[in-house]
Structure 1
Amino acid sequence: MGSLDELIRDLRRFDRRKEVTNALARKVREPVPPVRKKIRKRAIEVLPSSGGFGRWVSKLSITAAVKLQGRAAGIKLKGRRKGFPDKQPKVDLRRIDQGRAAAPSWGRRGEGDWHFQTVTPGFFTETTAEADEWRKAAVSAVDEALGVIRRG
């Protein structure tokens, strides 16, 4: 079993780098749809249902990001959710996952009318940690990429 560090090191000297990285990204993205469903289901289950907050957060987009250069090299699942276009431009899913959600104060949605509400933490990170199929696909993709590089 190879490591991501070995792959990054060996990719620098490999001629068909683009081919290998594209195949790696494709393989890592295969198990994302079932993991996405689990995360969305978990958001509905654990986040507050009043006002439709849990259902609203569950409509987040989830993608697998593969970066093989620089300090932030790695394979990650990323979640994004657009906010209300006129009130809150983006949603801080990391903070919601940590257990704090911005909520309008008494129905007002103007600037400065928001407060933080405590919610159940871990809807994203705990579900991702339990997603063995995604982790196995990532390890398998790295091993395959290393195999292609070492065979030449």
Structure 2
Amino acid sequence: MGSLDDLIRDLKSFEDRKVLTKELRKEIRKPVPEVRKMIRRRALVIMPQSGGLNVYVSQTKVTAQVKLSGRSAGVRLRGGRNNSTGKRSDILRIDQGKVRAPSWGRRGRNAWHTQTVPAGFFTGPAGEVDTWRQAVLDAVDSALEVIRRG
């Protein structure tokens, strides 16, 4: 069983690096649809239903960013969503358990308050997925095997 550090080191000298990294990224991203479903289900269950916050948060776009070089090599799961004014919603803050909402429907300056909501709708399911971990390990092992075969 190889590690990601071994793979990155060996990739530098491999001739067909682009083909191998493309396949590796594809294999690592395979569990993303399952993770998306888990995040959406969790948001629908734990977020407040009144006002539709649970539906709004469950429609967060989830993407996987795979980086195979440098010191910060790994997989990063990102979530984002535009709000009604076209700006980005603060999904990280909502995941931490805080959401800003207009007070009594007023959207003017100083008419907002912070509301506490259950934390972990995004980080909980993303960290619990064992198939994700296994997919990464399998992809790294198969790529190392291809490199060592030449």
TM-score w.r.t. structure 1 length? Answer: 0.90
Pairing of 1:3-14 with structure 2 (within 5 A):
3-14=3-14
1:36 Cα shift? Answer: 0.8
SS in 1 for 2:65: strand
Distance in 1 between residues matched to 2:103 and 2:65, nearest whole Å: 35
- 1:131 is matched with 129
Quick one: which amino acid aligns to residue 56 of structure 1?
A: Y
Question: 2:7 & 2:97 partners in 1: Cα distance?
Answer: 36
How far is the alpha carbon of 1:115 from its aligned partner?
2.5
Query: Counterparts of 1:35 and 1:91 in 2: how far apart (Å)?
Result: 20
Note the alpha carbon deviations across 1:79-122, whole angstroms, 9 max, x for none.
Answer: 11112235xx1012111111111212221224543322111111
Q: Distance in 2 between matches of 1:36 and 1:116?
A: 27
Matches within 5 A, 1:10-49: 10-49=10-49
Question: 1:121 matched to which residue of 2?
Answer: 119
* Alignment match, 1:77: 77
**Equivalents in 2 of 1:49, 1:102: separation in Å?**
16
Question: Cα RMSD between the aligned structures?
Answer: 1.5
2:59 counterpart residue number: 59
After TM superposition, give the deviation of residue 28 of structure 1 in Å: 1.3
Residues 48 and 10 (structure 1), Cα distance of their counterparts in 2 relative to 1, 3 Å cut: same
Trace 1:88-99 onto structure 2 (pairs within 5 A).
89-99=87-97
- How many residues are paired up? 150
Match of 2:107 in 1: 109
Q: Give the Å deviation of 1:67.
A: 0.6
Q: Identity over aligned residues, as a percent?
A: 55
Specify the code of the residue in structure 2 equivalent to 1:65: Q
Question: TM-score by structure 2 length?
Answer: 0.91
